[in-house]
Amino acid sequence: MARAPVVVYPPSEGGGRRVRVNGEILGTAYSPGDLLEFLRRAGLDPDDVQLDGPLIEWRGGGPEVW
């Protein structure tokens, strides 16, 4: 099974979740909106991204955990 090109790491103690796309850390997202902005900057169309879809590997909780 291929790995998801987007990895969202567990929430940090200070808040937010690191986001990696295709092996590159893009920054820390503090909300689903932040995550979608990172994906847009990485060349993905946010309108085509399902937060609970196979494109994103969630670690330490899914899209409802921030």
Note the pLDDT of residue 4.
Answer: 67
pLDDT digits (tens, 9 = 90+) for 2-52: 566 899 999 999 999 999 999 999 999 999 999 999 999 999 998 999 999
Contact call for residues 27 and 16 (beta carbons, < 8 A): no
| SS3 label, residue 60 | coil
Contact in structure between 39 and 49 (CB atoms under 8 Å) = yes
Please state, in angstroms and rounded to a whole number, the distance separating the CA atoms of residues 42 and 66.
21
Calpha distance 5→20 (Å, rounded): 8
